[in-house]
Amino acid sequence: MTEEYDDDHHDDDDQSSSSDGEESKSEDSNEEDLDHDYDEIPSNECAGYPTSTKQHVSSEIKQHILAVAIAILAAVTTHAQINGGFDSWKTELAKDWNAIRSSFTSRGESSKTVGKSTAGIPRASPSGGDRAPYAAPSMDAIPTELRQRALQKALGTNSGHKTTILDDSRAAIGHARATAFRRTAGLTFCPPTVMEVAGVSQSQINGLVDLEFILPLDPSVRVLHSYYLGDALGSDSSFVYDNVNIFGSFDSDVILTDIDVVHEQEGTEGALTLERIRSILESHLGEVMVNDEHVCLLQQYTEHKQSGRSIRGRTKVYERPRVSTFYQNKYSSTAGNALSVSREPTEKILPASLTFTGFATKFINLSIQSINLYWDGGHISSGPKAGQMHSVLVGIIPGMESIGTASFPGHSFFVTPTYDKAHVLQRWTVTEDDVVLYYDPLENLSIEDQKREVQKLCDTGKWSQKQKFAREAWIVDRSFGRDYLVKTGRHWLSVFPQPFLDHLDIDLAVGEARNVLMGNTGVNHQGIHLWNAGFIGQVHTFETSHLYFIDVPSTLSPLTKDDYRPEADEQRRLTMRKYQSSQTKRVSIASNATMSLSLKVISCAPRVLEVKKFLSPVEVQHLIDLASGAKGDVSMQRSSVLASGIKNRKDQKIRDTAKQDTRSSTGGWIHREHDVIVDGIFRRVADLLNIDERMMRDQRPPHLIGAEDTESLPTHDRIVEAMQLLRYGPGEEYTPHHDFTYPSIENRYQPRRYATVLMYLTGEGDVVEEGIRRSRSRKNGNADASDGLEGGETTFPRAITTEFHDGVKVQPQSGKAVLFYNVLPDGNLDDLSQHSGGKVVSGVKYVANIWVWDPIIA
């Protein structure tokens, strides 16, 4: 991925931060009819596309129904019945379903009146505030006594003690204490276990909570079945999606047909047994490849096919903690004690209201043609172009793909064919409720007509299998996203499901990668390490053997692949010791010396941590010299921005259009192999992130890079981009944006930048300021370096706090690093990770950025 992103990395970017951010009053086209139930969507092999006009029962009601159904089930059934597994679960649920649903109808009605909504989801409060405006029914919908009684029954014990701890753990240990980034964790289509029915599951203790979701039977079964196949069969190929295409369109149908045939032959009432389905799958895949969730999914398929009833599944999601838990000593009842968090604080603590209301907006193209996406800036009010429309090309959305940008409520966007920019296909005004927007040429057709149309497109070969699959995958994603929103209050910006790292099987050919993930780094196969951000001011420390450079080595030639061989590596490490120290001044060090650095949490949501003195003055100086041209070989250019998701970044025209006022800095790229100092910084960053530095190496096979013996790992590619050096002069800035991008739906791995490490080279309390000034004026007479930096703070405008109205600000300080995560522990992209580089008032701001992608095992 590095090769692809190095030269012109893509950030999505706010297109028009000058907007006053006023809440939109304009009509949106997504008014929904909520009366349609999932269960009534007919099953069909080639279509069944939900539309935005007729599809779902309010997801909120669904959540209530499910939660209550499970509670009732748990409370009324005996231990043996619960243990009866799938069949009894389904029967019981089915029996209670209608009664439960009708008892909730009135509640459902009232949710409709909350305001204009998408899929029955009440409108967010316009003021922003906590941004969790949706009362998540979740576990709280189950009365505590019911849950406890169910648990006691299930466990056959009266241990009140146990119950209390488990109840508390959900509220307390969940939340911010989730310390790993997981991708679609614990996805299952099997009935709840005894523990789960009782409201307890292992993953709650690991920090994530259960989400029960419902998907329309068609096309979900086909899509998910194909993903399971792809993951099973393609686990050692780079792009599982290719396998999904091959197997998903061929084997997938063959397996489903086999199941249908056996079902018919055996005349089974309802569903085939799990054993029978397992044996059919095993005959195609082999024993080790078959996983239980896949089997359960197919059982739901046989059981629901006639009725077209929906698919039920569960996965883990991140529940953001209450803002009161972000403060260790401020709100006494929480006081940093994990197990007491579940008690409600006496006073209701609200986050500071925000003056900024921007958010990530994602546009999905459900047609097969590429379309242009424009931001509509309205009429130009003065100047020679007065009266003309001002629109800005955000990017081109390829067929069945998505791109995104940061936006504000009230912003308008429109799409046109790429070949006819005057023909507006669809126009949207974004609001907080509508940030994932679909262009769907079939949207206005009835479900029946859509089916016919898609069938025709399939039959006449106008759509490929791949295109059809991608469209169906988006439909599944969209459906999941609604349940995710209701449960968490957050929009789903990722793609569901992401590969199931939780299910990596030790028998599969991932041994080495697993070791890397699990090894000394403390990262396990369940997820990628994230520093805990339990409360503001929380301090962590990490050890690194990549000590500060306190002198510049006599030779600074680029490193070759051979330099990364273990012996060469070790030799260099020893040689470099004479230029290094464990403090920013010289102290005597042993050859195996390490140093320890502290990270301090400055924001819990988003998760932001700072490390003072991450870089030594010599390292800072070295990077500034590279950025300022004193050392020549880094070419700094006017920074460009692109909507995230655009893949063709060689397209100069788009790039030029994208050079807007949103980002006025200049920047250049520097590879880790540039020299030993830069390489050392990358290694220290790996330690900071708690990942194996080898994953940051060039992963291309030896014959492509002219080396014999390489230490590459079974990741797709190196997981780090080249370092980006940025220079901002007075008046220059980078307006609010996200660092994440939207991966292609075709990429089964859904790679993303999970972490940003931003290192300040100049700034307040500048320990090397004097040195920099002297050296710069000496070396290149750079006049602008003679002033200290004023302004240029990095702001997380949407950080949740009880103190600040404009978010959390980070003052540039020479040598300081800020680490923030662009993802949440449940694999969603973190909209709150939005940030800006403030306007420089005087002096020059230099920063260096390192973006790290989540390790993906090939």
Ligand X SMILES: O=C(O)CCC(=O)C(=O)O
Q: Which residues would be at the binding site for Fe ion (CB under 5 A)?
A: 739
3-class DSSP state for residue 405?
strand
| Nearby residues of 164 by Cβ (< 8 Å), 6 or more positions away | none
Which of ligand X, Fe ion, none binds 317 (CB below 5-8 Å, type-dependent)? none
Q: Please identify, using beta-carbon distances, which residue of 676 and 719 lies nearer to ligand X.
A: 719
* Bridge partner residues of 795 (DSSP): 809, 836
Percent helix, strand, coil in the chain, to 5, is 35, 20, 45
- The distance of closest approach from Cβ of residue 835 to ligand X in the complex, given in angstroms and rounded to an integer, is 5
Amino acid identity, residue 162?
Answer: K
Q: Please identify, using beta-carbon distances, which residue of 315 and 662 lies nearer to ligand X.
A: 662
- The distance of closest approach from Cβ of residue 215 to Fe ion in the complex, given in angstroms and rounded to an integer, is 34
Q: Please identify, using beta-carbon distances, which residue of 63 and 665 lies nearer to Fe ion.
A: 665
Q: Please identify, using beta-carbon distances, which residue of 354 and 758 lies nearer to ligand X.
A: 758
Q: Please identify, using beta-carbon distances, which residue of 503 and 727 lies nearer to ligand X.
A: 727
Q: Give the HSE-up count for residue 476: Cα atoms under 13 Å, Cβ half-sphere.
A: 25
Amino acid identity, residue 436?
Answer: V
- The distance of closest approach from Cβ of residue 187 to ligand X in the complex, given in angstroms and rounded to an integer, is 32
Buried b (16+ CB within 10 A) or exposed e, 507-544: ebebeebbebbeeebebebbbbbbbbbbbbebeeebeb
Distance CA 331, CA 602 (A): 17
Q: Please identify, using beta-carbon distances, which residue of 484 and 734 lies nearer to ligand X.
A: 734
Q: Give the HSE-up count for residue 609: Cα atoms under 13 Å, Cβ half-sphere.
A: 23
- The distance of closest approach from Cβ of residue 726 to ligand X in the complex, given in angstroms and rounded to an integer, is 6
CB-based burial label for 375 (10 Å; 0-12, 13-18, 19+): buried
Which residue, among 202, 214, 164, 148, has the nearest Cα to 316 in the 3D structure?
A: 202
- The distance of closest approach from Cβ of residue 411 to Fe ion in the complex, given in angstroms and rounded to an integer, is 20
Q: Please identify, using beta-carbon distances, which residue of 87 and 787 lies nearer to ligand X.
A: 787
* Bridge partner residues of 637 (DSSP): 667
Q: Which residue has the tokens 């203790």?
A: 205
Q: Please identify, using beta-carbon distances, which residue of 92 and 739 lies nearer to Fe ion.
A: 739
Distance CA 261, CA 254 (A): 10
- The distance of closest approach from Cβ of residue 840 to Fe ion in the complex, given in angstroms and rounded to an integer, is 16
| Positions that interact with ligand X (CB under 6 A) | 11, 726, 734, 739, 758, 794, 835, 837, 847, 849
Which of ligand X, Fe ion, none binds 837 (CB below 5-8 Å, type-dependent)? ligand X
Q: Which helix (H) or strand (E) holds 454?
A: helix 447-459
Main-chain dihedrals φ then ψ at residue 594, nearest 5 degrees: -130, 170
- The distance of closest approach from Cβ of residue 639 to ligand X in the complex, given in angstroms and rounded to an integer, is 8
CB-based burial label for 370 (10 Å; 0-12, 13-18, 19+): middle
Which of Fe ion, ligand X, none binds 832 (CB below 5-8 Å, type-dependent)? none
- The distance of closest approach from Cβ of residue 311 to ligand X in the complex, given in angstroms and rounded to an integer, is 39
Q: Please identify, using beta-carbon distances, which residue of 119 and 848 lies nearer to Fe ion.
A: 848
- The distance of closest approach from Cβ of residue 724 to ligand X in the complex, given in angstroms and rounded to an integer, is 6
Which residue, among 792, 826, 49, has the nearest Cα to 488 in the 3D structure?
A: 826
3-class DSSP state for residue 144?
helix
Q: Please identify, using beta-carbon distances, which residue of 609 and 745 lies nearer to Fe ion.
A: 609
- The distance of closest approach from Cβ of residue 737 to ligand X in the complex, given in angstroms and rounded to an integer, is 7
Q: Which two tokens stand for residue 733?
A: 């800035």
- The distance of closest approach from Cβ of residue 535 to ligand X in the complex, given in angstroms and rounded to an integer, is 24
- The distance of closest approach from Cβ of residue 626 to Fe ion in the complex, given in angstroms and rounded to an integer, is 20
Q: Please identify, using beta-carbon distances, which residue of 13 and 130 lies nearer to Fe ion.
A: 13
Q: Please identify, using beta-carbon distances, which residue of 584 and 665 lies nearer to Fe ion.
A: 665
Ordered DSSP codes for 719-788:
SBPPEEEEEE-TT--EEEE-S-----TT-TT---EEEEEEEESS-TT-TTHHHHHHHHHHHH--GGGGSP
Of all residues in the shown chain, the one whose CB is closest to Fe ion is 739
Distance CA 793, CA 303 (A): 58
Which of ligand X, Fe ion, none binds 794 (CB below 5-8 Å, type-dependent)? ligand X
Which of Fe ion, ligand X, none binds 391 (CB below 5-8 Å, type-dependent)? none
- The distance of closest approach from Cβ of residue 536 to ligand X in the complex, given in angstroms and rounded to an integer, is 20
Q: Which helix (H) or strand (E) holds 819?
A: strand 817-821
Quick one: DSSP state of residue 505?
-
> Any idea of the CA torsion for 633, 639, 643, 645, to the nearest 10 degrees?
10
* Residue 151: alpha-carbon gap to chain centroid: 33
Main-chain dihedrals φ then ψ at residue 683, nearest 5 degrees: -65, -40
Q: Please identify, using beta-carbon distances, which residue of 111 and 849 lies nearer to Fe ion.
A: 849
- The distance of closest approach from Cβ of residue 180 to ligand X in the complex, given in angstroms and rounded to an integer, is 24
Which of ligand X, Fe ion, none binds 814 (CB below 5-8 Å, type-dependent)? none
- The distance of closest approach from Cβ of residue 3 to ligand X in the complex, given in angstroms and rounded to an integer, is 20
Q: Please identify, using beta-carbon distances, which residue of 284 and 809 lies nearer to ligand X.
A: 809
Which of ligand X, Fe ion, none binds 281 (CB below 5-8 Å, type-dependent)? none
3-class DSSP state for residue 467?
helix
Q: Which two tokens stand for residue 290?
A: 């078959």
Which of ligand X, Fe ion, none binds 726 (CB below 5-8 Å, type-dependent)? ligand X
Length of the chain: 858
With vertex at residue 241, the alpha carbon angle to CA 824 and CA 393, rounded to the nearest 5 degrees, is: 65
- Cα dist from 851 to 597, 614, 739, 747, whole Å: 20, 16, 8, 20
3-class DSSP state for residue 393?
strand
Q: Please identify, using beta-carbon distances, which residue of 616 and 822 lies nearer to Fe ion.
A: 822
Q: Give the HSE-up count for residue 218: Cα atoms under 13 Å, Cβ half-sphere.
A: 20
Indicate left, alpha or beta for 114 from its phi (over 0: left) and psi (-120 to 50: alpha). alpha
* Bridge partner residues of 397 (DSSP): 371
Q: Please identify, using beta-carbon distances, which residue of 259 and 799 lies nearer to ligand X.
A: 799
Q: Please identify, using beta-carbon distances, which residue of 573 and 835 lies nearer to ligand X.
A: 835
Q: Which two tokens stand for residue 266?
A: 């055996």
- The distance of closest approach from Cβ of residue 852 to Fe ion in the complex, given in angstroms and rounded to an integer, is 13
Which of ligand X, Fe ion, none binds 573 (CB below 5-8 Å, type-dependent)? none
Q: Which helix (H) or strand (E) holds 416?
A: strand 412-417
- The distance of closest approach from Cβ of residue 685 to ligand X in the complex, given in angstroms and rounded to an integer, is 15
Q: Which two tokens stand for residue 830?
A: 């973190």
Which of ligand X, Fe ion, none binds 289 (CB below 5-8 Å, type-dependent)? none
